[in-house]
């Protein structure tokens, strides 16, 4: 929680509200004082502490710490940089896009691996957000916080790297992160401090999922919409598509277990053929694109017209699978 003091009132209220816990992810309160009011803060703390002591009968530590804003800001940024670096430390060399996909998304040959690696992805998303917030808090005063020009340049490169990595992992896992509430601030931050280019719309389909892109515009266009660092590796592209198909299967499985079990087996066969080099890459793309369309549609092409609701189709597929199985 951040609070800004620009008037000669509200100091005690700001301290109380900022020091209040309102969630598990709040570690501290942050007050920015533009009026140099904290010279009088000793009196406010004395009153606050004495009231607590009177109520509870024992010595009370309200845990109000007065620290230099830039010193605290640098400490926060350094800790965020270290935390995300440690999070990515287990990634296998040479630590390229494919190695990061393996670490954060798992092995596409193992059906449950994508779900098993969800904690790593959640940690990455959280660590990236923490890094961006820490950077934003002192972005205009990095030199005042004691960073050299070379260090500032390295920090900006690192943040750019982790933002791109987060996008790659998000695409590779088929996950959607709702950043609409932060989109304007994030775009301003990135454009101002990380990338100077004006924001531009890449495609009218850029809000669609990868499977939706494959259905609407074809697999070539869908691949072209992937992050640049991913498109250079055939394996990275393949595993991204496979993870997106797997994610959709997992998400919709309960709607029609028999149908999506069949789709999962087909996906396993395609992955196996690709890794064993049993099919050429172009044939692989053709097969995975067809499967992606079936998974996205959620209904087989030869389904009888009378089965006009998801419930009817699920029941039919269940009975049919038992008869044939």
Residue 254 has pLDDT above 60, yes or no: yes
Evaluate if residue 43 carries a pLDDT over 70.
no
Both structure tokens of 240: 């991204």
Tell whether the model's pLDDT for residue 52 goes beyond 70: no
Task: Write phi, then psi, for 118 (nearest 5 degrees).
Answer: -60, -40
CB 176 within 8 A of CB 170: yes
* pLDDT of 167 over the 70 cut: yes
Separation of alpha carbons 128 and 87, rounded Å:
10
* Domain assignments of the chain as residue spans, ordered by start: 2-56, 69-173+175-194, 210-324
Residue in 124, 220, 223 with CA at minimum distance from that of residue 167? 124
What is the structure's pLDDT at 178?
Answer: 53
Distance from chain centroid for Cα 169 = 8
- 281 pLDDT more than 50: yes
The residue-averaged pLDDT of 183-189 equals: 58
Instruction: For 84-96, give one letter per residue: b (16+ CB within 10 A) or e.
Output: beebbeebeeeee
**Per-residue confidence band for 196, with pLDDT thresholds at 50, 70 and 90:** very low
Q: Report yes or no: 140 and 204 within 8 Å, Cβ to Cβ.
A: no
Q: How far apart, in whole angstroms, are the C-alpha atoms of residue 283 and residue 238?
A: 12
Length of the chain: 325
A 10 A CB-CB count for 66 gives: 11
Q: What is the pLDDT of residues 89-132, one digit of tens each?
A: 999 999 999 999 999 999 999 999 999 999 999 999 999 999 99
Is the predicted pLDDT of residue 241 greater than 80, yes or no? yes
Residue ranges of the alpha helices (H) in 174-253? 183-189, 210-217, 219-224, 228-231, 234-252
In DSSP terms, which residues pair with 4 in a beta bridge? 32
Which pLDDT belongs to residue 26? 59
């Amino acid at each position: 929680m951040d609070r800004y003091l620009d008037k000669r009132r509200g100091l005690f209220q700001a301290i109380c509200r900022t020091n209040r816990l309102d969630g598990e992810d709040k570690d501290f309160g942050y007050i920015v004082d533009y009026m140099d009011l904290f010279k009088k803060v000793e009196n406010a703390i004395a009153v606050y502490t004495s009231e607590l002591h009177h109520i509870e009968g024992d010595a009370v530590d309200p845990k109000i710490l007065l620290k230099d804003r830039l010193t605290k800001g640098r400490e926060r940024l350094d800790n965020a940089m270290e935390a995300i670096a440690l999070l990515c430390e287990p990634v296998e060399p040479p630590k390229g896009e494919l190695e990061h996909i393996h670490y954060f998304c798992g092995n596409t040959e193992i059906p449950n691996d994508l779900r098993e690696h969800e904690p790593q992805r959640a940690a990455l998303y959280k660590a990236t957000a923490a890094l961006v917030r820490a950077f934003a808090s002192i972005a205009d005063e990095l030199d005042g916080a004691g960073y050299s020009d070379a260090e500032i340049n390295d920090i900006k490169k690192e943040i750019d790297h982790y933002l791109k990595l987060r996008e790659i992992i998000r695409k590779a896992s088929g996950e959607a992160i709702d950043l609409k509430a932060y989109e304007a601030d994030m775009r301003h931050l990135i454009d101002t401090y990380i990338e100077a280019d004006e924001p531009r719309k890449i495609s009218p389909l850029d809000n669609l999922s990868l499977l939706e892109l494959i259905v609407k515009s074809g697999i070539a266009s869908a691949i072209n919409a992937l992050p640049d660092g991913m498109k250079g590796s055939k394996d990275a592209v393949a595993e991204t598509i496979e993870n997106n198909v797997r994610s959709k299967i997992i998400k919709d499985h309960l709607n029609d277990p028999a149908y999506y079990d069949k789709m999962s087996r087909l996906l396993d066969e395609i992955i196996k053929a690709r890794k064993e080099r049993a099919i050429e890459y172009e044939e692989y793309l053709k097969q995975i694109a067809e499967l992606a369309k079936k998974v996205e549609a959620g209904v087989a092409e030869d389904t009888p017209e009378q089965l006009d609701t998801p419930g009817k189709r699920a029941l039919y597929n269940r009975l049919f699978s038992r008869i044939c199985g």
